[in-house]
Amino acid sequence: MSNDALDSNPPNADYHLSNHGSDWLWAVFALFGLSLLAVIGWTLATRRGTRLFHQIAIVVLLTGAISYFSMASDLGATPVPVEFRGNGTRQIWFVRYIQWFITLPLLLLGLLLAIGLPLSDILTTLFMAIVLVVTGLVGALVPSTYKWGYYVFGLVALFYIWYVLLWHGHRTTFAAGDRTAFAPGDRARSGHRLSAYYLSFLLMLYPIAWACSEGGNVISVTSEMIWYGILDLLAGPVFLFWFLFKLRGVDRNMYGPQTGKYTDSNVAPGATTTAQRAGAGPASTANGVGAGPVNGATTSPVMGAGSATYPPSAAHGAQGASAV
């Protein structure tokens, strides 16, 4: 079947997408679509209440599929006069920046949630991701040399993201425990480091691609599509599958993303479960009896069971013995 996308939607600029570029974009769209179906199946096989990271992946892949469908159809671009290497206009694909506006903050959100980074740090990092994408779009739409000013603003935002991924995130106390490792959090910490290095390296290549395409008009639009397409595949399906695979053996409850509103049981609201009758529910009024806080013990916000942070003092034990 021939690709007639450019016949149905003629290019609107002098430097525009070719038929071979459209064929490549259709292939990327197919990979995003297949990855989306695979993650949906993976999500359905995952216990409800622990699907946060899978649902983030679904949103990222669906957004990427829509974006590449649009670009493969030669839609979602506007002509902008070029600054270097010739005269005329070049297609600037604003639909790609809409994709990144949604997907980049979500990728960072999943990665930063996995290490239990404070909410304030997460919000600031997501804002910097938005700044990076928006300044790239505005700079691409500016036909004059002032576009490079937005490019610098984007690099400043990127430096902050690198700081969080490569330095600040590694110094954070990991919230994730590991059911298989001897030291809790070792597996999550190792997975985060590899993920942070990988994503940081890819984020370095995006500004280089921008400078060679929208910025400097050094490469053709088709070459631009190939470059960005490879990066989006590596940052999208490849990264997400690897990230979800690394989390498969980690206790998801330790991340704290459970809604706390879904239950797989048919216990009526307010009913007493067998576990609660066995002493796993709220603490009783007896001194030290039950699973609730005892003598300064702290209660786990995830499992709902109390765990003392230090053993009772010897004096207290002696008082308990004399009372008996």
Going 67 to 71 to 73 to 75, the CA torsion angle's sign is: positive
The residues facing 81 across adjacent strands are 89
What pLDDT was estimated at residue 290? 44
Cβ(60)–Cβ(236) below 8 Å: yes
Backbone torsion region of residue 15, taken as left when φ is above 0, otherwise alpha when ψ lies between -120 and 50, otherwise beta: beta
Q: Domain 4-254: which CATH class?
A: mainly alpha
Q: Domain boundaries in the chain?
A: 4-254
Chain-centroid distance, C-alpha 80: 32
pLDDT averages per 10-residue partition of the chain, 324 residues: 85 93 97 97 88 94 98 96 89 97 96 84 96 97 95 97 84 48 48 85 97 94 97 96 80 51 48 49 44 45 41 44 39
The enclosing H or E element of 80 equals strand 77-81
What pLDDT was estimated at residue 182? 31
